[in-house]
Amino acid sequence: MAELGSVAEPILACRGVRYRYLDRFVALDGVDLAVHRGEKLALLGANGCGKSTLLKILDGLLFPDEGTFTAYGEPITEDSLEDEQLNAGFRSRVGFVFQNSDAQVFSPTVREELSFGPLQLGLSRDDVTRRVDDVLALLQIADLADRAPFQLSGGQKKRVAIGTVLAMNPEVLLFDEPTAALDPRTSEWLTGLIEDLAATGKTIVLATHDLDSLARLADRCVVFSEEHRIVASGTPAEVLAQRDLLLQVNLIHQHTPLPTA
């Protein structure tokens, strides 16, 4: 994988990306997006507008039908990810926290789950063990280390899912609806964690339609229309000030009071 580009260059870039499921259902319709190092970017939009699909493209799990996606200046395609070095470089730099923690927590125990990513990237078993212990302590889940996923609550599974990605120490963290279906305390903890991660220089890209925590979760937002296109971008304050736009893209209802940015 190429060395890191200049500071002004986006680390992840989509140009004219179109994606359809089963060749019929449009998920993204000509999306241009640039993600810069160290920023907190929120993808805002109603259900089904294509946010999750875009995150999966940014993680090299889906590939555009049309348009291009580049990471650190390298085109990311199904073919290019066959290259072992590029694959390892890309996977170690970009981590994805799925919305459905059950999909992400697939190993028999929490400890094995946390060790899965670093082991696949070729870290020594001693390093992996150390990292896993550190992540368990950081996320305050040391007592869950030998538990099976079916014994965990939704909030605990979310912590483990985040731990699986943190253990790989990626530069870019992609979150799909991070605070959805979490109780207030866990939601607040997660918002704080994302702020802390961003403060350490990590790049955060998250999909959400939760406007209440937007000012803390993002310093830039892009807004998707229900026609699967990006229709606006700006700081949380700028976006939240456009009530008509938010109404039009189904992010708020006419009776919804807007949070103050």
Interface with another protein by CB under 8 A: which residues?
56, 59-61, 84, 87-88, 91-92, 95-96, 98, 100, 102-104, 106-109, 111-112, 115-117, 119-121, 125, 128-129, 146, 148-151, 164-165, 168
As measured in angstroms, the least distance from the Cβ of 189 to another protein is 22
Task: CB nearer to another protein: give 117 or 178.
Answer: 117
Name which of 167, 88, 171, 85 is nearest 128 in CA terms: 167
Write down the residue that tokens 């580049």 correspond to. 70
Tokens of 44: 């805002």
C-alpha distance from residue 7 to each of 39, 72, 122, 233 (Å): 12, 11, 29, 21
Task: CB nearer to another protein: give 164 or 203.
Answer: 164
Task: CB nearer to another protein: give 69 or 116.
Answer: 116
Name which of 30, 26, 90, 18 is nearest 59 in CA terms: 90
Cα separation of 9 and 249, whole Å?
30
Name which of 242, 222, 244, 166 is nearest 50 in CA terms: 222
As measured in angstroms, the least distance from the Cβ of 29 to another protein is 22
Task: CB nearer to another protein: give 185 or 253.
Answer: 253
Q: In what order do the strands lie in the sheet with 220-224?
A: 94-97, 172-176, 203-208, 40-44, 220-224, 230-234
Residue 129 near residue 88 (C-beta atoms within 8 A): no
As measured in angstroms, the least distance from the Cβ of 60 to another protein is 8
Task: CB nearer to another protein: give 87 or 233.
Answer: 87
As measured in angstroms, the least distance from the Cβ of 177 to another protein is 14
As measured in angstroms, the least distance from the Cβ of 157 to another protein is 11
Residue 252 near residue 246 (C-beta atoms within 8 A): yes
Task: CB nearer to another protein: give 107 or 186.
Answer: 107
As measured in angstroms, the least distance from the Cβ of 159 to another protein is 16
